[in-house]
Structure 1
Amino acid sequence: RMDQALLLVRNELPAPGLNLAALSGSCHQCLYQFLAFVPPSNESLRKPGTASVMVDTQHPLTLLLNSSVGDRDLCKIQYHFGEFGNYSLVVKTLSRSTQTVSCDLIINEGPINSYLPILFAFLVYMGILAILTAGRLLMKIDPVRNWVYKKLNPRATDRMINSELGSPNTTDSINSDPIPQSWSTGSRQRLRSLDTFRGISLVIMVFVNYGGGKYWFFKHESWNGLTVADLVFPWFVFIMGTSIALALGSMLRWGSSKWKVLRKILWRSFVLILLGIIVVNPNYCLGPLSWDNLRIPGVLQRLGFTYLVVAALELLFTRADSGTWEGRFPALQDILPYWPQWIFILVLETIWLCLTFLLPVPDCPRGYLGPGGIGDFGKYPNCTGGAAGYIDRLLLGEKHMYQHPSSGVTYQSTIPYDPEGILGTINSIVMAFLGLQAGKITLFYKDQPKQIMSRFVIWGIVMGIISAILTKCSKEEGFIPINKNLWSISYVTTMSCFAFILLLLIYYLVDVKKWWSGAPFLYPGMNSILVYIGHQVFANYFPFKWKMQDTQSHAEHLAQNLTATTLWVIISYILYRRRIFWKI
Structure 2
Amino acid sequence: MNSIGTGPVDSQHAVTLIVNGSNSKQICRIHYHFGEFGNYSLMVKNLHNNILQFSCNIIINQNPFNSNLPIFFAFLIYVVIFSILMLGQFCMNIELIRNWLYKKMNPRETDRLINSELGSPSRADSIGSDLPASVWSSGPSLHRLRSLDTFRGLALIIMVFVNYGGGKYWFFKHQSWNGLTVADLVFPWFVFIMGTSISLSLSSMLRRGCSKWKLLGKILWRSLLLFLIGVIIVNPNYCLGPLSWENLRIPGVLQRLSCTYFVVAVLELLFAKPVPDNSTLEIPCPALRDILPYWPQWLFMMALETVWLCLTFLLNVPGCPNGYLGPGGIGDFGNYPNCTGGAAAYIDHVLLGEKHIYQHPSSNVLYQTTVAFDPEGILGTINSVIMAFLGLQAGKILLFYKDQHRQIMLRFCIWSVVMGVISAVLTECSKDEGFIPVNKNLWSISYVTTLSSFGFVLLLLIYYLVDVKKVWSGSPFFFPGMNSILIYVGHEIFENYFPFKWKMQDAQSHSEHLAQNLIATSLWVFISYVLYRKRIFWKI
Matched, 1:358 2:311: no
Alignment of 1:146-225 (within 5 A): 146-153=99-106, 158-159=124-125, 163-164=129-130, 166-169=132-135, 186-225=140-179
Partner of 1:109: 62
Partner of 1:226: 180
User: What code does the residue aligned with 1:389 have?
Assistant: A
Instruction: Quote how far apart the aligned CAs of 1:493 are.
Output: 0.5
Structure 2 residues without counterparts, runs of 5 or longer: 111-120
CA distance, structure 2, for counterparts of residue 370 and residue 446 of structure 1: 44
User: What code does the residue aligned with 2:463 have?
Assistant: Y
Partner of 1:483: 439
Partner of 1:83: 36
The DSSP-based 3-state class of the residue aligned with 1:163 is coil
The DSSP-based 3-state class of the residue aligned with 1:221 is coil
User: What code does the residue aligned with 1:486 have?
Assistant: L
Q: 1:159 to 1:365 in 2, by over 3 A?
A: farther
Partner of 2:116: none
Count how many residue pairs are aligned between Structure 1 and Structure 2: 524
RMSD in angstroms over aligned alpha carbons? 1.7
Matched, 1:469 2:422: no
- Among 10, 14, 21, which residue is 1:56 paired with? 10
CA distance, structure 2, for counterparts of residue 393 and residue 489 of structure 1: 22
Decide whether the 8 Å contact of 2:328 with 2:341 is kept in 1. Answer: yes
Decide whether the 8 Å contact of 1:306 with 1:428 is kept in 2. Answer: yes
Partner of 2:219: 265
Matched, 1:547 2:503: yes
User: What code does the residue aligned with 1:140 have?
Assistant: N
User: What code does the residue aligned with 1:312 have?
Assistant: V
Partner of 2:386: 430
Instruction: Quote how far apart the aligned CAs of 1:397 are.
Output: 1.2
Farther-moved stretch of structure 1 (155-164 vs 486-495): 155-164
Partner of 1:521: 477
Farther-moved stretch of structure 1 (283-292 vs 115-124): 283-292
Instruction: Quote how far apart the aligned CAs of 1:89 are.
Output: 1.2
Matched, 1:242 2:208: no
Partner of 2:85: 132
CA distance, structure 2, for counterparts of residue 141 and residue 365 of structure 1: 70
User: What code does the residue aligned with 1:385 have?
Assistant: G
Instruction: Quote how far apart the aligned CAs of 1:449 are.
Output: 1.5
The DSSP-based 3-state class of the residue aligned with 1:62 is strand
Q: 1:74 to 1:161 in 2, by over 3 A?
A: farther
Decide whether the 8 Å contact of 2:238 with 2:245 is kept in 1. Answer: no
Structure 1 residues without counterparts, runs of 5 or longer: 1-13, 15-40, 42-48, 172-179
Matched, 1:401 2:357: yes
Partner of 2:48: 95
Instruction: Quote how far apart the aligned CAs of 1:159 are.
Output: 4.8
Partner of 2:114: none
Decide whether the 8 Å contact of 1:203 with 1:521 is kept in 2. Answer: yes
Q: 1:362 to 1:568 in 2, by over 3 A?
A: same
CA distance, structure 2, for counterparts of residue 450 and residue 61 of structure 1: 48
CA distance, structure 2, for counterparts of residue 560 and residue 142 of structure 1: 39
Farther-moved stretch of structure 1 (186-195 vs 492-501): 186-195
Matched, 1:564 2:530: no
Partner of 2:113: none
CA distance, structure 2, for counterparts of residue 312 and residue 534 of structure 1: 28
| Higher helix proportion (structure 1 or 2) | 2
CA distance, structure 1, for counterparts of residue 251 and residue 210 of structure 2: 32
CA distance, structure 2, for counterparts of residue 327 and residue 168 of structure 1: 32
Decide whether the 8 Å contact of 2:28 with 2:44 is kept in 1. Answer: no
Instruction: Quote how far apart the aligned CAs of 1:149 are.
Output: 2.8
User: What code does the residue aligned with 1:341 have?
Assistant: Q
User: What code does the residue aligned with 1:164 have?
Assistant: D
Decide whether the 8 Å contact of 2:128 with 2:533 is kept in 1. Answer: no
The DSSP-based 3-state class of the residue aligned with 2:371 is coil
Q: 1:105 to 1:285 in 2, by over 3 A?
A: farther
User: What code does the residue aligned with 2:59 have?
Assistant: I
- Among 328, 338, 342, which residue is 2:298 paired with? 342
Decide whether the 8 Å contact of 1:523 with 1:573 is kept in 2. Answer: yes
Q: 1:64 to 1:97 in 2, by over 3 A?
A: closer
Instruction: Quote how far apart the aligned CAs of 1:414 are.
Output: 1.2
| Higher strand proportion (structure 1 or 2) | 1
State TM-score, norm by structure 2.
0.94
Q: 1:437 to 1:163 in 2, by over 3 A?
A: farther
Q: 1:513 to 1:307 in 2, by over 3 A?
A: same
Q: 1:142 to 1:223 in 2, by over 3 A?
A: same
Partner of 2:245: 291
The DSSP-based 3-state class of the residue aligned with 1:462 is helix
CA distance, structure 2, for counterparts of residue 162 and residue 328 of structure 1: 51
Residues 495-517 of structure 1: CA deviation (Å, up to 9, x unaligned): 11111111111111111111111
Question: Structure 1 vs Structure 2: percent identity of aligned residues?
Answer: 68
Instruction: Quote how far apart the aligned CAs of 1:142 are.
Output: 3.9
Instruction: Quote how far apart the aligned CAs of 1:140 are.
Output: 3.0
User: What code does the residue aligned with 1:163 have?
Assistant: S
CA distance, structure 1, for counterparts of residue 193 and residue 79 of structure 2: 27
Residues 186-221 of structure 1: CA deviation (Å, up to 9, x unaligned): 414321110000000000000000000000000001
